Amino acid sequence: MIDFLAELNEPQHQAVTHENGPLMIIAGAGSGKTRVLTYRIAHLMGSGVDAFNILSLTFTNKAAEEMRHRIEKIIGSEAKNLWMGTFHSVFAKILRFEGFRLGYTSNFTIYDTDDSKSLLKTIVKEFNLDDKTYKPNFILNRISGAKNNLISWQMYNENPVFQAEDISAQMPEIGRIYKTYAQRCFSANAMDFDDLLFNTNVLFRDYLDVLNKYQHKFKHVMVDEFQDTNISQYLITRKLSAVHQNICVVGDDAQSIYAFRGANIQNILNFKKDYPDLKVVKLEQNYRSTKNIVNAANSLIAKNKAQLEKKTFSDNEEGDRIEVIKAHSDNEEGKIIANTIFESKHQGLRNQDFAILYRTNAQSRAFEEALRKLNIKYRIIGGLSFYQRKEIKDLLGYLRYTVNQQDEEAFKRIINLPKRGIGDSTVAKIVVMASENQKSVWEIICNIKQYLEGRAMNSIETFTNLIKSYIIMEEEGKDAHTIAMNIAKTTGILHELYIDKTVEGVARHENVQELLNSIKQFVDNPENEDKTLGSFLQTVSLLTNADQEEDGDPDKVTMMTIHGAKGLEFKHVFVVGLEENLFPSQMMLRSREDLEEERRLFYVAITRAEKKLTLSYAEQRYNWGKLNFCEKSRFIDEIDPAYLKFDDRGSSYTPKGFDFESFGRKERPVVTAPPTRSQAIANLKPVSQAKPAPVHVPTVDFVPSDTKNLKPGDKVEHQKFGFGEVKKLDNLGPTAKAVIHFDSEGEKTLLLSFAKLRIVE
């Protein structure tokens, strides 16, 4: 075996060679953590442990793949058999095999955040609640928090503490929403992200034979980024390693930045209590950054109270002081940083050596524009990912529905797409029918003429026949690419985008082609044994932001949020937007008052830098069309000023060495961006449109905007039927309904979401 142990320092060596019994590695930033984990697995395999007995949980799928390749280089192709991946992807795989015990089929759908929110929205609407108080984001966070602490909807509704909290938040109905949400997901044969972990816990709790099987399979369990695991994840790993007791966790409490999603720093702090004979190894030497950067980071993190004792240090060169730039505006901030990058390239640095890190995705625009003007190539990680684009989700919707006809979110997305004359009211009727007859939407539309009539029915039959033809292909065992190609063609999605010659239409067509390509790659990849549509979908829905495909040119400036930068390193890092209320974030401070997590986030940002670090802030910033005046972030002042160097360059600053001549005196960007939607519209219409004077229209309180106040006995006015009285309200069904007795028309049942009613005082 290759002697890779020689190059390790003492604590690293201990961590790698510790074989049996629980182990905790506290790995400071830049301490060679990835190397230790890689070698540790290689060492275990070298001493006779089979690859398929090792489970290694990472934070991104990409990290897992990289590690697998590194191990492969040391130990050989046996590394292919390692179980590696994110918590979500590994346990989704296990649930595919074992989920039938909980009532799911093997091709269950994974709801992403958008699906979850859309489902919550419909539930709120059905309950006739005000969607301004009941915000899907908030409810989802609440439900997610409950699930991550293993609180089922039953437990949630039985516990008066939660109800008291919800009442004080003006949302007493959250318990009921949670219940309905969970039941809907289940009947749609779907799990959201949190369910993947929650259900794994249920599975291991209720089916001891299953637990036993995996306990014996995984002789070694390793968890990377342990500081960012939540209770649910921790319990899974604890159960899995209960037999062999070979659990190895790696983490750094100073880099815990996911408490907002349920990560629990107590996991690290309490780990010792759960494993009394725990061996702890601390990796404290930073090999990544200069002394200046490490010291500055230490001086900042010292302000935090909750942390384990450790002393990180660097034996590297002293390095430059940290530069702090004050800019007049957000756009100027972009220009200055783009210019700095442009100049630094003469000092032998390449694009790929730079990273621009910000707190929120929305901040990327000023930097994009500035970099494009100087013809500097960049890539953005995160933000709206490829798989969140409308055209992609549309095609994926068809794929999902082909695999799982219970998937109502997919149904709602594709039923009238491309337009086939099936409108909202028809869809609403189908949903009502389904719930009244205790059947799934699919069963209704397969026999639609038994239930409803009207001109949309023929379109619905065409639709079901289309889907049926895809299902047959799936049952015949055709691979994912063949089916997806067929769907893209026969639905007309591809054609519709093909004939759309607008800029966006062309881009969308390309995107769909790209998706089809990636499915082809998935099918052609010999490492994927299961080439079915179901298998592809499960992989796709668990891709992380860091898993984005590259276009082959690696020499680009990287832009991303600090959260996305975890585990990465760059020669020169810019941390931008250091303004009070932006970083630390106003939201964070208002909702959780957790300044320490924001500080750790800043710590993570600083420690990404190898040689140089630049901090910047702007005095004014445009946010959603409004100009805001900003103050310098308190975090800059928390760094020991001995490590800082202040610089305020004006907006007239132009980069040295920028050759305007070769650009024809004009800034002529070679990297062209597609015009934005508004630009495209502006190109179509002349600007000379006179705006009509605003007309004052008296507002009328028509339902549904006011349904929350509607109760039996109310006198109402209907636009068409005139005056009447509410007899009965049925808001338990999928669509809220009211039985109203009208003076002229007699009794009528109305779908409230479409009725035009007004409450008469």
Query: Catalytic amino acids?
Result: 33-34, 224-225, 255, 608
**32 assigned to a ligand binding site:** yes
The single residue among 625, 650, 657, 713 that binds DNA, judged by CB under 7 A, is 625
CA separation for the pair 380, 383 (Å, rounded): 8
**Per-residue x/- marks for DNA, 521-550, CB under 7 A?**
---------------------x-xxx----
**103 assigned to a ligand binding site:** no
CA separation for the pair 195, 321 (Å, rounded): 47
The single residue among 56, 340, 491, 561 that binds DNA, judged by CB under 7 A, is 561
Site size for DNA (CB under 7 A): 55
The single residue among 505, 702, 717, 727 that binds DNA, judged by CB under 7 A, is 702
Segment (H or E) for 190: strand 190-192
Say how many CA atoms lie within 13 Å of 586 toward its Cβ: 6
329 binds DNA (CB under 7 A): no
**17 assigned to a ligand binding site:** no
89 binds DNA (CB under 7 A): yes
The single residue among 462, 517, 705, 749 that binds DNA, judged by CB under 7 A, is 705
194 binds DNA (CB under 7 A): yes
Among 35-43, 161-169, 414-422, 440-448, which window interacts with DNA (CB under 7 A)? Answer: 414-422
564 binds DNA (CB under 7 A): yes
**137 vs 245 by CB, closer to DNA:** 137
**Per-residue x/- marks for DNA, 113-152, CB under 7 A?**
x-------x----------x--x-x---------------
Classify residue 134 by burial, with Cβ atoms within 10 Å: 0-12, 13-18, 19+.
buried
The single residue among 14, 201, 290, 426 that binds DNA, judged by CB under 7 A, is 426
CA separation for the pair 707, 127 (Å, rounded): 10
The single residue among 14, 38, 53, 60 that binds DNA, judged by CB under 7 A, is 60
Q: How far is the CB of 277 from DNA (least distance, A)?
A: 32
**125 assigned to a ligand binding site:** no
Over its C-alpha atoms, the chain yields an Rg (Å, rounded) of: 29
**410 assigned to a ligand binding site:** no
User: Within the chain, what is the greatest distance between any pair of CA atoms?
Assistant: 93
Q: How far is the CB of 635 from DNA (least distance, A)?
A: 15
Segment (H or E) for 164: helix 160-168
Question: CB–CB of 747/741 below 8 Å?
Answer: yes
CA separation for the pair 309, 313 (Å, rounded): 13
Among 235-243, 255-263, 286-294, 490-498, which window interacts with DNA (CB under 7 A)? Answer: 255-263
CA separation for the pair 202, 404 (Å, rounded): 23
Cis previous bond, 584, omega within 30: yes
The single residue among 481, 509, 531, 563 that binds DNA, judged by CB under 7 A, is 563
677 binds DNA (CB under 7 A): yes
Among 160-168, 279-287, 402-410, 617-625, which window interacts with DNA (CB under 7 A)? Answer: 617-625
Q: How far is the CB of 536 from DNA (least distance, A)?
A: 17
DSSP string, 684-717: HS-TTPPPPPP-------EETTTGGG--TT-EEE
Segment (H or E) for 173: none
**76 assigned to a ligand binding site:** no
CA separation for the pair 54, 615 (Å, rounded): 42
Classify residue 552 by burial, with Cβ atoms within 10 Å: 0-12, 13-18, 19+.
exposed
261 binds DNA (CB under 7 A): yes
**Which residues partner with 230 through β-bridges?**
263
Pairing of strands 54-58, 279-283: unpaired
CA separation for the pair 68, 34 (Å, rounded): 11
The single residue among 309, 477, 526, 624 that binds DNA, judged by CB under 7 A, is 624
Among 14-22, 319-327, 466-474, 581-589, which window interacts with DNA (CB under 7 A)? Answer: 581-589
**Closest to 417 measured CA to CA, from 385, 453, 441, 393:** 393
103 binds DNA (CB under 7 A): no
Q: What DSSP designation does 543 have?
A: -
424 binds DNA (CB under 7 A): yes
Segment (H or E) for 508: helix 503-524
Two tokens at 252? 């750094």
The single residue among 152, 159, 360, 548 that binds DNA, judged by CB under 7 A, is 360
**Closest to 414 measured CA to CA, from 493, 481, 317, 526:** 493
CA separation for the pair 612, 603 (Å, rounded): 15
**Closest to 451 measured CA to CA, from 466, 437, 465:** 437
Q: How far is the CB of 151 from DNA (least distance, A)?
A: 17
- Tally Cβ neighbours within 10 Å of residue 712: 12
Among 32-40, 239-247, 431-439, 623-631, which window interacts with DNA (CB under 7 A)? Answer: 623-631
Among 31-39, 85-93, 370-378, 569-577, which window interacts with DNA (CB under 7 A)? Answer: 85-93
Question: Which residues carry a binding-site annotation?
Answer: 27-34
Residues of each annotated binding site for ATP: 27-34
Q: Which residues bind DNA (CB under 7 A)?
A: 59-60, 86-89, 113, 121, 132, 135, 137, 193-194, 258, 260-261, 359-362, 382, 384, 416, 419-426, 454, 456, 542, 544-546, 560-561, 563-564, 585, 587-588, 591, 623-625, 676-678, 702, 704-705, 754
